[in-house]
Structure 1
């Protein structure tokens, strides 16, 4: 279950970075009151932690999903 939650957060982060690159729009910041708002920073922090959490899956041979 934790792997799926982490994967969803990482996908949200990836889509947000794609929007920043293609449209110069920070969607998470737009939704949560600005790039530097407390809520946006919490979401960005959770996305970062999810990425760190998923690093071991790169080196795992078993299917985690």
Structure 2
């Protein structure tokens, strides 16, 4: 699955997972990206879109 939004280019962010004893290991935070059909230039296409863009109305879904 794609790990970035094709509308706002939101992608993965890396950082450290910190345990209770403060030992660290690398980890990533991935955005909530879903494959939806959207209307682009009058034709329906499939894109990977984050849920923030879906909720704010930055894309028009094809029903």
TM-score of the superposed pair, with normalisation by structure 2: 0.23
User: Which protein has the bigger helix share?
Assistant: 1
- 1 or 2, which has the higher strand percentage? 2
Structure with bigger gyration radius: 2
User: RCO higher in 1 or 2 (8 Å CA, sep ≥ 6)?
Assistant: 1
